[in-house]
Amino acid sequence: MKFEVVSREFIKPHHSTPPSLRDYTLSLVDELLPTMNLPTIIYYATDNHSSISRCEHLKRSLSKILTRYYPYAGRYIKESFMVDCSDQGAEFVEAVVDVSLDDFISQTKNAKMELLNCLLPHPIDAGDEVTDPLLAVQVTAFACGGWAIGVLASHRIADMSTSSTFIDEWAINANQLLEGMDENDEYPMSPRWTSASLFPGKKLSGLPRGLPRVKEDSDDHKIVTKVFSFNKSSILRIREMARLDKSSERLPTRVQSVFGIIGKAIMDIQVANHASSKEFLVSQTVNMREKTDPPIHKNQCGNLFLVSTAHIVAGKRGVEFQSIVNLLTQSVRSEVENCKTILSVGGQVIITDGFDRLTRTLANLDSSSNLVFSDWCKFPFYEADFGLGKPVWISGINSPLGNNVYLFSDKFGEGIEAWVNLNANDMHKFQQDSNIMEFCT
């Protein structure tokens, strides 16, 4: 399989950013995050618009949408904890690969997840330097006429909710251009870049990650990524099994139940490796938007989440599944309750205390005891139609972050794809776990 980069350029906003918006200050949550980019790859089948230059169409619509997402066209200035929004531009890369889209997806799902990383313009940790773009896009054409858009958005100024909103609005704008609509027509969304007014920054250092700035494959970082699919009926069975009170009609959520079945398998492996009981810290992000009082709008940009943590002790025989699901559920509910008061006077303390607890706990645990779960099921990536058809698949990458699990909805919105990142030895055992074998397709 041969990848080739055809071109690289920087796309600037269609309209210059006003001087009053040139300095974008980070919020408190922005400051506390590690240096990394959030990756999303969106795949499309062959389109029927042969008369349209796909990349030129995407560049033009990207330029227009950057007018509204102007920090993405800026550069981060570490010393001042702010973004210089002087329209330096978002990076746009064109690439080609000499296999069909179906063959590529088949190879990655079956054995070679590291191939996914070739669809991104940079490694996920290439950030925070003044030369690093805060948004980088790679459009890759497959031999069959299918194509993929790989989006890297800097976690310094955006969480996955912001990235999803951006992709959604970019697609809407691209559709409008194909339909000949005027650029000044009304947009259905209005991004808000005012998070620092809600949670002013304090010029604090972020969490360390220690990720490489150069591209690696799985042989370098020893982390294996695999996708495990849970269909609708399997998820219902897992939820039934997770219910603590069998007399209650209320079931645990789909997400916490799937996280529970995966978490149990990982913890049982780790305890077996150590032949003794072991303490685990499981962290999940909780989106603040629409949960605060008054509600933060769903299109508020930036990093707007809290980190829930659950301490779980697994005995020599492993850990009870229902107990894991219950602890994960309670930890998330606790942070949802915190969201209700976070806009009050003491809101910043809730944020800093949560990150401080996480940092202190991680310092006292070995890396195999830290599990990170992320739920991206509600983001409408499969609706991202740039005027050339809806996606046929959404993917992450072969991540260098071990003990990391994130969830996407499947194409039909009923199932869940779990992206599990483990070291090679643990992944082999994980695939042989009885629950994983029973419930995954």
- Structure tokens that stand for 124 in this block: 């996920």
Catalytic residue check, 217: no
Helix H or strand E encompassing 141:
strand 135-141
Q: What are phi and psi of 93, to 5 degrees?
A: -115, 135
Q: What are phi and psi of 10, to 5 degrees?
A: -110, 130
B/e letters for 197-233, b = 16+ CB within 10 Å, e = fewer, are ebbebeeeebeeeebeeeebebeebebbbbebebeee
C-alpha pair distances (Å), 223 with each of 132, 401, 425: 25, 7, 9
Q: Are strands 90-97 and 370-375 parallel, antiparallel or unpaired?
A: unpaired
Which entry of 23, 47, 84, 385 is annotated as an active-site residue? Answer: 385
Catalytic residue check, 155: yes
- Residue 87 zone, left/alpha/beta (φ > 0; ψ -120 to 50; rest): left
Angle at 163 between CA 290 and CA 75, to 5 degrees: 120
Which entry of 30, 128, 132, 155 is annotated as an active-site residue? Answer: 155
B/e letters for 104-122, b = 16+ CB within 10 Å, e = fewer, are bbeebeeeebbbbbbbbbb
Contacts of 414 (CB under 8 A, 6+ apart): 231, 232
Q: Which of 162, 94, 154 is nearest to 125 (CA)?
A: 154
State the catalytic residues.
155, 385
